[in-house]
Homo-oligomer: A and B are copies of this chain.
Amino acid sequence: MAGGYMGKILKVNLSEGSIKELPIDEEIARKYLGGKGYAVRLLYDYLTEYERLGIAPEDIDPLGEENVLIFATGPATGVIGFPEPGRYHVMTLRSPLTGGIGSANSGGRFGPYMKFAGYDMIIVEGKSEEPVYLEVIDGSAEIKCAKDLWGKNTFDTTRILTKRAGGNCSVACIGPAGENLVHIACIINEEHRAAGRTGVGAVMGSKKLKAIVVKGSERPEIAKPDEFKAASKEMLDKIKQNPVTGEGLPKYGTAVLVNVINNAGALPYKNWQEAYNEKADEISGETLEAKYLRKRVACWGCSIGCGRATEVKTGPFKVLNTEGPEYESIWALGNDTAVINLEAVIKANHFCDELGIDTISMGSTIACAMELYEKGYIKDEDLQGLDLSFGSDAAMVEAVWRTAYKTGIGKYLALGSKRLAEIFGAPELSMSVKGLEMPAYDPRGIKGIGLNYATANRGGCHVTGYTVSPEIVGLPEKIDPLTYEGKAAWVKAFQDFTCVVNSAVNCLFTTFALGAEDYAVLLSHITGWDLNADEIMKIGERIYNLERVILNKYGFDGKDDTLPKRLLTEPLKEGPAKGQVVELDRMKEEYYQLRGWENGVPTKEKLKELDIP
């Protein structure tokens, strides 16, 4: 087996109660790396097998026995010296939120610890009758009863299972939201790290899988340790010298972006009715640092340390000894809902972590509900005493636990903004793409990210192709956010390269400082393969295209590669991007051409070129 891998996949079938080991297939690994890429390939194989059995892709129930849940690491995960190697990727055959592929990514230490327990991946098939958890310790796995854990929040679950395993382990679990099949439920590890998006927590809940505990002392081997050590030093120096990874992120965390994006006129406000908020500094990373920071925290093996340990010491939103919120969470729970109250946002973020809900989709869905309420689609009698006007800080916080427990208006919020807006009769008010709520960058002020949202395989997602880096941050070079020229190429490059990062699996923030060549060097030394930048990018493109092939099977195509009408037709009324909309078609045609796609579908030639079956 190539270096960086443990060489083994754990396959658990909860319907049968069976546990198997599979070898990592080196041929697949060479073509899809690991992590997300390898998982996409496995999902494709599941889909093919289902089709052979007569089960059409669109008939797969995201919350049914037939869905598959994969926890994946890659060759970089858990390798000391690989820049920021503390992450893992989660994939599901279908997402309950979008109907597309489920895909989410988290930090902390679960990824590395899963490898140390002996496995590169864990595949969960089927569905248990009774609540269970999976304990994987030093190459030995067991399905255990979790009846006593069902109903418990993520904090309690983590502490109880950590104690039971004798400490020094990692626990990835769902909270009440996942158990209750909330479509925006996430998976939480280390109490505050979330595999957040596309409702992967609900898939775990539908399988009655409360948690996975991983612990072990194995370590991945490095094919060329001396070469790797030298390269590692060089890369970590680049990380340290980079203004974002060496200074901005460590000092202010991801929330450093609040003022930056607002100053670009691209911080969505009031469910994207505007994108500039003159009070944004009140909820900025600088304010978080000044008023609420306890200390900085880092994922396993990370040299950046963007995590924030925080607390609110007094008042109605008092919460002690918590973590976060990240930039996206501040935006969604705060700016998008017009709750310009960092204390309320910290509290709501705490509830999201405790109960297991994705902060982006949660905040964005609440913002959507607020607009539905202010415009008269949601009535007072639907709210049972709750005032969901924009800016209602306490109502925003309350909406979080209501969602987890599907109580009152929470039962609709639990479906995500797309279905919420449909149910209340104004589908155009859901600020989502392919059913996934978009994050904190208004493409009317940052055109490239708009093309990325429209074409991202998992839906409205920033970390599929983060063109904010060149368009706003100026890395690897500064480009104008308001122009359309050249954006298609940037989007494609970022999308493909991000597939590499999520398949390596390490932290996307490294890409502020490192490029494909750097990755090629590092991954070559670890695996022992001879990879160059072109090949690395080809791997990324292959992954992206195979994922798209799966999406096509579910019925997604060019018509779904679009943006909410508001972004295409309502010019911004204030701020630096005043007057702007997104002229999506100007970029999309060029993008399809670069991709070798027709109407959102890869051509046969492209698939052949990429050696996709």
- Residues in A lying within 8 Å of B, measured CB to CB: 151-153, 155-156, 176, 180, 311, 315-322, 350, 354-355, 380, 383-387, 392-395, 401, 405-408, 411
Contact = CB atoms under 8 A, between A and B. Distances in A.
A406 B151 CA distance: 8
Contacts of A385: 311, 319-322, 350
Contact of A394 (B156, B315, B321, B383): B315
9 contacts: A151-B407, A153-B408, A155-B408, A311-B385, A316-B394, A321-B380, A354-B408, A401-B401, A405-B405
Contacts of A383: 320
A446 to B, nearest CB: 35
**What copy number does this chain have within its complex?**
2
A315 B315 CA distance: 12
Nearest to A313: B387
B155 A320 contact: no
Nearest to A402: B401
B394 A318 contact: yes
A388 to B, nearest CB: 11
Given A318-B387, A320-B386, A401-B405, 7 more contacts: A151-B180, A153-B408, A155-B384, A176-B405, A311-B385, A316-B316, A318-B395
Contacts of A407: 151-153, 176, 354-355
A384 B318 contact: no
Nearest to A156: B408
A407 B405 CA distance: 11
A183 B320 CA distance: 28
B392 A318 contact: yes
A334 to B, nearest CB: 16
A393 B153 contact: no
Contacts of A318: 387, 392, 394-395
A175 to B, nearest CB: 9
A380 B320 contact: yes
Nearest to A393: B316
A154 to B, nearest CB: 10
Residue in A153, A350, A393 with the greatest tally of chain B CB atoms within 10 Å: A153
A384 B350 CA distance: 10
A394 B397 CA distance: 12
A383 B401 CA distance: 17
A190 to B, nearest CB: 14
Contacts of A384: 153, 155-156, 354
A316 B395 CA distance: 8
What are the nearest 3 A-B pairs in CB distance?
A316-B316, A316-B394, A319-B385
A151 to B, nearest CB: 6
A176 B394 CA distance: 22
A320 to B, nearest CB: 5
Contacts of A156: 384, 408
B320 A387 contact: yes
Contact of A386 (B319, B380, B387, B394): B319
Nearest to A311: B385
A489 B187 CA distance: 63
Nearest to A341: B316
Residue in A315, A385, A386, A394 with the greatest tally of chain B CB atoms within 10 Å: A385
A14 B311 CA distance: 49
Contacts of A401: 401, 405
A198 to B, nearest CB: 24
A353 to B, nearest CB: 10
Nearest to A315: B394
Contacts of A180: 151
Contacts of A311: 385
A534 to B, nearest CB: 49
A385 B321 CA distance: 6
A397 to B, nearest CB: 9
Residue in A384, A387, A393, A394 with the greatest tally of chain B CB atoms within 10 Å: A384
A394 B153 contact: no
Nearest to A406: B151
Contacts of A315: 394
A355 B384 CA distance: 12
A395 B405 CA distance: 19
Contacts of A152: 407, 411
A203 B316 CA distance: 34
Nearest to A384: B155
A394 B317 contact: yes
A311 to B, nearest CB: 8
A112 to B, nearest CB: 25
A146 to B, nearest CB: 15
A399 to B, nearest CB: 12
Nearest to A409: B156
A354 B386 CA distance: 12
Contacts of A316: 316-317, 393-394
Contacts of A406: 151
